[in-house]
Structure 1
Amino acid sequence: MTTTIHHDQALNWFVRLSDADAPEAAWLDFQAWLEADPDHSKAYDLIEQVWVALDDDAPANVVAPIAANDAGPAPRGQWINRAWLAPMMATAAAAVMVVGLWPEISGEGRFTTYSTDDAPREIVLSDGSRLSINRHSDLRVRIGARDREVTMAGGEVAFDVTHDASRPFVVKADDHEVRVLGTAFNLLDHGDRFSVGVTRGLVAVSGRAMPQTVRLSVGDQIVHDGAAAPVVSHVDPEQASAWRDGVLVYRDTDIGTIADDLSRYLNKPVSVSESARALRFTGALRIGDEATMLRQLQDFVPIRATRENDGIRLTARGAG
């Protein structure tokens, strides 16, 4: 169980990182603190939960949790009075425990739907956040007074989120959730494939099939295909959203993943034969029409692309 010392440290980190001008070194130090002890992560998660749950319209005696265990929400008896939350955040005072109920988090504002077809789109939200929406993407956005939420129905978006500690920014994609305060990251949600790559700041990724929340800092990337466990790796931060510059960058990537990308860009199924599954590719493909992208792939990889029914099949060159 987390201790009062851990909660005090978590509060100090929350206050420090609420500064929009917090340097990159502070985020790196924070990441090191999180990784030093599992209880650090639990304590910080609870501070974020308290902040999100704070509702100025709620009665002063409504309370929010200040402790949790691995099984889920905090048990009764480990709560903090919401009326003391603001000065606690300002002074990082020790938590006070009282008994109460979890406040209902009210949503505000309406969702606005954004969809793209064969061309990407750039939008600026009312909070100043910028979204670069890749082709064949669908999402809904709601900017409220207490929180900001994006629900993706599929596709790819590069987020540049305006820092606002009072309004956490949450992106939901199928069974996954990404939480940030102010950062830049790329999120892909296509079929069973989900990935997040961070170019600035820090994000927390959680999911129904993930054993625990994963925090990513600059250059970190998480990939989850639904069946296997999530894989976290370190990549060039600019690679995460290279598609905005008209290229797809790969490093020792299997053909199945490239086929999945092609199916999104060409808007048709691209399958891989057994003969080609072992092939891998390192390099860049220029985004273009079907003929251009298939020609590049065949120039770089010993593969043959043939059209089958309404889709495309990739086969190793020389295979029957």
Structure 2
Amino acid sequence: MGRERSMDDASPIPEGTDEIASDRIADEALDWFARLRNATPEDAGEAEFAAWLRQNPRHAEAFDDLEAIWGSPAFLGAVRSLPVATPAAASARRTVEPRPHARPSRKLPVRLGAIAAMLLLAIGVWQAPALILRWQADYVTAVGDRATIALPDGSSMILNTASAVALDFENGRRDVRLLQGEAFFDVRHDPAHPFRVAGRFGAIEVKGTAFSVREDGARDTVILERGRVEVRLVADEAAQATLEPGQQVVASANALSAVEPADPVTALAWRQGRIVFDDQPFETVLAELRRYRSAPVVVTTGLAEDFRVSGNYRTTDIDGALRSLAAAAGVDVTTLPGGILILR
């Protein structure tokens, strides 16, 4: 579990170091804001909250400013418009109305304003236009989901989280376009009809084999588990590579990387609902975990560049993984309505 500050430890803020005091007040206000909205009536801690408000007039000001941020039409509209990926995700989200006493903000403290701006930015980026993708795709998986699909030729395909593909199996063709995300293919052997997968930057052709393709916007990564594949660069067909089992290659806009060793057991553990890391930077691990979560994870603090992670996590408990990693890194975790996680 993540390391969350106890509200019992709150104490009056000494005058003097105003910037440090303002930051601490903003932190405490944010903690109380999240605690009161996620609490049940039995553990709401209203008496403790009232005591915290009495400690310093600035406490009430900071809390009211934060409620004004949450109560603003733009922010509420962004949270309420979060797409429903799955029934489970929908049941986990709930909309919380602003308290009746929430009022329009005065000039917001810099820290609270920065938190609001980052939340809105995260939601805006997350709300990518998915309608066009759905129109193009034959199969789509929601964030956090995984699907196994039998293809018309007898091959099979496993789609990872937030993935989409378009198929063309007409007149003997066996063509797949990876529009987004990651897919694993176990291809039925048919020498007369090559099986082709097109990513954004790379194109793969096989007769019968098992391999994965991952498209992350900047590159396509191809990992071979069994058989043999030919990979070529879309922008330059002369740039080609042949993979043997346990190898990978990366295609970007203008180049095909050298063939490198890969560990399919680790890299493709998502097929069994696991994510495995071996001595990876914290930020790399965080980016991977974000792929499996339907609400934003916002980082408002610097993370130790030398903090590295090894672990094996379930894709069905991403929040548990995030809290465990945050605790190990000494990072605080706060949960806001709408499922938003703040690491700070």
User: Where on the TM-score scale, by shorter chain, does this alignment land: which range?
Assistant: 0.5 to 0.7
The partner residue of 2:217 within 191, 215, 227 is 191
**Aligned partner letter, 1:296:** S
Aligned residue pair count? 205
**Aligned partner letter, 1:116:** T
SS of alignment partner, residue 178 of structure 2: strand
Could you tell me which residue of structure 1 aligns to residue 276 of structure 2? 249
The partner residue of 1:222 within 218, 234, 249 is 249
> Residue 283 in 1 paired to residue 308 in 2?
no
Query: TM-score, normalised on structure 1?
Result: 0.55
State the distance in 2 between where 1:231 and 1:270 align. Answer: 33
State the distance in 2 between where 1:186 and 1:301 align. Answer: 32
The partner residue of 1:128 within 146, 149, 154 is 154
Tell me which protein shows more helix as a share of its residues: 2
State the distance in 2 between where 1:277 and 1:224 align. Answer: 27
Counterparts of 1:4-23 in structure 2 under 5 Å?
none
SS of alignment partner, residue 292 of structure 2: helix
User: In the alignment, is the contact (CA less than 8 A) between 2:152 and 2:169 conserved in 1?
Assistant: yes
Distance 1:229 1:181, change over 3 A: closer
The partner residue of 1:295 within 295, 304, 323 is 323
Distance 1:164 1:285, change over 3 A: same
Distance 1:300 1:228, change over 3 A: farther
1:220-252 CA distance string (max 9 Å, x none): 123457699736432333223211112111223
Distance 1:228 1:214, change over 3 A: closer
Could you tell me which residue of structure 2 aligns to residue 206 of structure 1? 232
Tell me which moved more, 155-164 or 290-299.
290-299
Offset of 1:286 from its aligned partner?
Answer: 1.9
Distance 1:296 1:163, change over 3 A: farther
**Aligned partner letter, 2:199:** A
Query: Which consecutive unaligned segments of at least 5 residues does structure 2 have?
Result: 1-135
Distance 1:135 1:145, change over 3 A: same
The partner residue of 1:262 within 289, 296, 299 is 289
User: In the alignment, is the contact (CA less than 8 A) between 2:249 and 2:256 conserved in 1?
Assistant: no
State the distance in 2 between where 1:227 and 1:294 align. Answer: 35
Offset of 1:266 from its aligned partner?
Answer: 0.6
Offset of 1:305 from its aligned partner?
Answer: 4.9
Distance 1:297 1:206, change over 3 A: farther
State the distance in 1 between where 2:209 and 2:279 align. Answer: 28
Could you tell me which residue of structure 2 aligns to residue 169 of structure 1? 195
> Residue 148 in 1 paired to residue 167 in 2?
no
Tell me which moved more, 154-163 or 238-247.
238-247
Higher relative contact order (CA 8 A, sep 6+): 2
Query: Which consecutive unaligned segments of at least 5 residues does structure 1 have?
Result: 1-110, 316-320
State the distance in 1 between where 2:251 and 2:342 align. Answer: 24
User: In the alignment, is the contact (CA less than 8 A) between 1:147 and 1:166 conserved in 2?
Assistant: no
Distance 1:292 1:227, change over 3 A: farther
Distance 1:292 1:190, change over 3 A: same
**Aligned partner letter, 1:216:** L
User: In the alignment, is the contact (CA less than 8 A) between 1:134 and 1:155 conserved in 2?
Assistant: yes
User: In the alignment, is the contact (CA less than 8 A) between 2:137 and 2:179 conserved in 1?
Assistant: no
Could you tell me which residue of structure 2 aligns to residue 114 of structure 1? 139
State the distance in 2 between where 1:190 and 1:266 align. Answer: 16
Distance 1:240 1:182, change over 3 A: farther
Query: TM-score, normalised on structure 2?
Result: 0.51
Larger Rg: 2
SS of alignment partner, residue 213 of structure 1: strand
User: In the alignment, is the contact (CA less than 8 A) between 1:276 and 1:303 conserved in 2?
Assistant: no
**Aligned partner letter, 1:298:** A
User: In the alignment, is the contact (CA less than 8 A) between 2:164 and 2:180 conserved in 1?
Assistant: yes
State the distance in 1 between where 2:305 and 2:255 align. Answer: 17
Offset of 1:313 from its aligned partner?
Answer: 5.8
Could you tell me which residue of structure 1 aligns to residue 21 of structure 2? none
Tell me which protein shows more strand as a share of its residues: 1
SS of alignment partner, residue 239 of structure 2: coil
Counterparts of 1:2-81 in structure 2 under 5 Å?
none
Offset of 1:200 from its aligned partner?
Answer: 0.3
State the distance in 2 between where 1:129 and 1:267 align. Answer: 30
State the distance in 2 between where 1:256 and 1:116 align. Answer: 25
**Aligned partner letter, 1:293:** A
**Aligned partner letter, 1:238:** V
